């Protein structure tokens, strides 16, 4: 394992997501709602804030919208999910908000997995500059990313072991519920990379091609990574046998920081911009890898972390018990997901440089908080 030291996010980090003038948003939304709601609605919008504690790929606005319905004034608490503008260094080369909207809508219709109900959508970008949709605002708590929940002084870190285990097992149960949606390829064809012209090979190979396209997009701005290219070479030489007909709906960003909880159980599964079709191991690996990134940083900083939380053997056993499915070896999927984490750090680093928050580094891999973890997994895999 390399001796490179990962860096933790500073305690006062508040990464800029958007250059939008928030003061203009209520008026713009009111004018739009007046057009899409029945005549006489007389909408009013109060913008509370943007959500910037977790997540870095889109803009999220918290608002209340009030209008007249059946002769009475009604207030609805909403969250607006807004596609990023090109000027704000988006994380992804394309941002398919319609696919995100449709995935959430279908999950709500086809399963008991808790997702916010999606409402009105504005697909043109004419109102806020980029497309957006409204979804119901759900009350609850989210494990923090900054500082990470396992650093201490968080509601999850301070919880009793049985409460932590309830959160862990109930989150796995939500993933099982997603994977249980039948005929996923037919119900979610827009999540196949073939929908964007990446048609060669089987589904896993198409997903590798999708991630490679993303890497080339990121590298064009901030430089190439030998570690990422080493991971690609190993992945392409060791693609596991996975039959397309066995593909399930994968949440894609299946980490606990993307879930709203009440009483240590999910009440809203969020962030569907990287949903995909593929082997169920993808989601379990992402959930585990995300926790291990934080555990690696905590260890370097001399913090106790949460070593008994989200252990691979426990998560796999719970998944098997709830689904009746025996998962395959997760090594390939850990490499695949670790590579994607590296690309995320490339793009968020480029955004910080753009907004003047950090200097451009001499070595792009110095941005990778997950670098020691990815190197360790590659070494264990013999790469």
Residues taking part in catalysis: 253
**Half-sphere exposure at residue 141, Cβ-oriented, CA atoms within 13 angstroms:** 12
CB 363 within 8 A of CB 369: no
- Please state, in angstroms and as integers, the Cα–Cα distance from residue 71 to each residue in 43, 64, 277, following that order: 13, 19, 45
What is the Cα–Cα distance from 340 to 378, expressed in whole angstroms? 14
Q: Where are the alpha helices (DSSP H) in the chain?
A: 25-36, 97-110, 161-179, 184-187, 203-222, 226-237, 281-300, 312-323, 331-354, 371-381
- Where residue 190 falls (left for φ over 0; alpha for ψ -120 to 50; beta otherwise) is alpha
List all residues 6 or more positions away from 346 whose beta carbon is below 8 Å from its beta carbon.
215, 218, 219, 222, 225, 364, 367
Bridge partners, 118 (sequence order)? 135
- Please state, in angstroms and as integers, the Cα–Cα distance from residue 161 to each residue in 2, 49, 148, 157, 170, following that order: 32, 33, 18, 9, 14
What is the Cα–Cα distance from 77 to 174, expressed in whole angstroms? 24
- Measure CA 336 to chain center: 15
**Half-sphere exposure at residue 203, Cβ-oriented, CA atoms within 13 angstroms:** 22
What is the Cα–Cα distance from 188 to 250, expressed in whole angstroms? 10
Q: Reduced to 3 states, what is the DSSP secondary structure of residue 342? A: helix
> Tokens in use for 374?
């990815």
Element (H, E) at 276: strand 276-278
């Amino acid at each position: 394992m390399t001796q490179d030291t990962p860096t933790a996010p500073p305690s006062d980090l508040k990464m800029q997501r958007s250059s939008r003038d928030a003061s203009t948003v209520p008026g713009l939304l009111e004018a739009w709602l007046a057009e899409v709601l029945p005549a006489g609605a007389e909408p009013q919008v109060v913008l509370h804030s943007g959500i910037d504690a977790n997540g870095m790929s889109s803009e999220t606005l918290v608002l209340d919208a009030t209008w007249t319905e059946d002769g009475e004034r009604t207030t609805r608490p909403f969250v607006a999910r807004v596609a990023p503008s090109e000027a704000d260094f988006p994380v992804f080369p394309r941002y398919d908000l319609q696919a995100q909207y449709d995935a959430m809508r279908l999950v709500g219709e086809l399963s008991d997995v808790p997702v916010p109900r999606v409402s009105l959508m504005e697909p043109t970008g004419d109102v806020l500059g980029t497309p957006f949709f409204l979804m119901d605002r759900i009350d609850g708590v989210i494990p923090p990313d900054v500082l990470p929940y396992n650093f201490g002084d968080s509601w999850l870190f301070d919880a009793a072991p049985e409460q932590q285990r309830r959160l862990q097992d109930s989150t796995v149960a939500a993933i099982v519920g997603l994977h249980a949606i039948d005929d996923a390829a037919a119900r979610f064809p827009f999540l196949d990379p073939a929908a964007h012209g990446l048609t060669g090979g089987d589904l896993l190979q198409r997903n590798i091609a999708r991630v490679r396209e993303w890497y080339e997009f990121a590298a064009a701005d901030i430089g190439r990574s030998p570690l990422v290219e080493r991971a690609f070479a190993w992945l392409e030489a060791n693609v596991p046998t996975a039959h397309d007909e066995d593909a399930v709906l994968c949440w894609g960003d299946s980490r606990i920081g993307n879930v709203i909880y009440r009483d240590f159980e999910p009440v809203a599964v969020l962030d569907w911009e990287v949903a995909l079709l593929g082997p169920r191991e993808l989601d379990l690996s992402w959930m585990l890898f995300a926790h291990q990134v934080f555990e690696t940083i905590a260890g370097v900083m001399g913090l106790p972390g949460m070593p008994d939380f989200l252990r691979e053997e426990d998560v796999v056993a719970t998944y098997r018990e709830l689904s009746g499915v025996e998962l395959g070896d997760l090594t390939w999927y850990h490499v695949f997901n670790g590579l994607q984490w590296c690309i995320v750090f490339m793009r968020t680093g480029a955004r910080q440089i753009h907004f003047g928050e950090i200097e451009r580094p001499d070595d792009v891999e110095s941005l990778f908080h997950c670098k020691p973890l990815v190197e360790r997994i590659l070494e264990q895999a013999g790469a």
